Amino acid sequence: MLIDNTLFLRERFPSLRKKYSEYEDSLDTEKLEVLDSKSGAKTIKYDQKLMVHSLYDPIREAERIIASHEDKISADTHVFFYGGGLGYHIEKFVEKYPNNPFSIYEPIPEIFKVMSEQRILSSVMTKNTANVYIDYRQNESLELMDEFSSSNKNIHIIVLPSYENIANQQVRFFQETVKSIIIGRRSNLRTNARFQKLWVMNSLFNIKEVLSTPNVMKHVDHNEFKDKPALIVSAGPSLSQDIEYIKYIKENNLAYIFSAGSAINSLVAHDILPDVICTYDPLQTNDKVFKDLIDKNISHLPMLFGSSVGYETLNKYKGPKVHFITTQDRASTYFLREQLDTKRDYILDSPSIAIMIFQVLNRLGVNPIIFAGQNLGFLYDRYYSEEIDYEVIKDKKQLENAIMIEDVYGNEIKTSIGLNNMREILEQFAGHFNGTFINTTKGGAKIKGIPFQPIEEILEKLLTKPITKSEWWMDTPLYDQKEMEKKIKNLYDSIGKFFGLLREGERLMDAIKANIKVRNKQIMQRLLSQFDHLYTQMRQNEYYANFLSFYIRVDTQFLANEIKRLNGFKDSFDKGEGLLRVFSNYINQCRAGSSELEGIIEQALK
Phi, psi torsion values for 298, nearest 5 degrees: -90, 110
Backbone CA torsion sign across 280, 281, 286, 292: negative
Contacts of 282 (CB under 8 A, 6+ apart): 195, 198, 199, 202, 308, 309, 310, 328
Residue 406 has what DSSP assignment?
Answer: E
Burial of residue 352 (number of CB atoms within 10 Å: 0-12, 13-18, 19+): buried
High-pLDDT (> 90) share of the chain, %: 78
d(CA 152, CA 129): 16
What is the structure's pLDDT at 381?
55
Q: 410-441: per-residue pLDDT in tens?
A: 999 999 888 999 999 999 999 999 999 999 99
pLDDT tens per residue, range 512-561 = 999 999 999 999 999 999 999 999 999 999 999 999 999 999 999 999 99
Q: What is the pLDDT of residue 392?
A: 46
Question: Does residue 229 carry a pLDDT above 70?
Answer: yes
Check whether 398 has a pLDDT greater than 70. Answer: no
Confidence band, pLDDT 50/70/90 cuts, at residue 385 = low
Segments of 117-238 assigned E as strands:
129-134, 154-159, 230-233
Over residues 135-158, the mean pLDDT reads 76
Report pTM. Answer: 0.87
Measured distance CA(415)–CA(418) in Å, rounded:
8
pLDDT one-digit tens code per residue, 274-326: 999 999 999 989 999 999 898 899 999 999 999 999 999 999 999 999 999 99
Residue 141, pLDDT above cutoff 90: no
The percentage of residues in the chain with a pLDDT greater than 70, rounded to a whole number, is 95
Whether omega for the bond prior to residue 161 falls within 30 degrees of 0, making it cis, is no
pLDDT at 395 over 50: no
Give the Cα separation of 185 and 558 in Å (integer).
13
Side-chain-side CA neighbours of 475 within 13 Å: the count stands at: 3
Q: Which residues, in sequence order, are CB contacts of 205 under 8 Å at separation 6+?
A: 311, 600, 603, 604
For the chain, state the CA radius of gyration. 29
Residue 177's pLDDT is 87
Give dist(CA 457, CA 464) in Å, integer: 11
How much is the mean pLDDT over the chain?
92
Write down the domain spans for the chain: 3-185, 210-460, 482-605
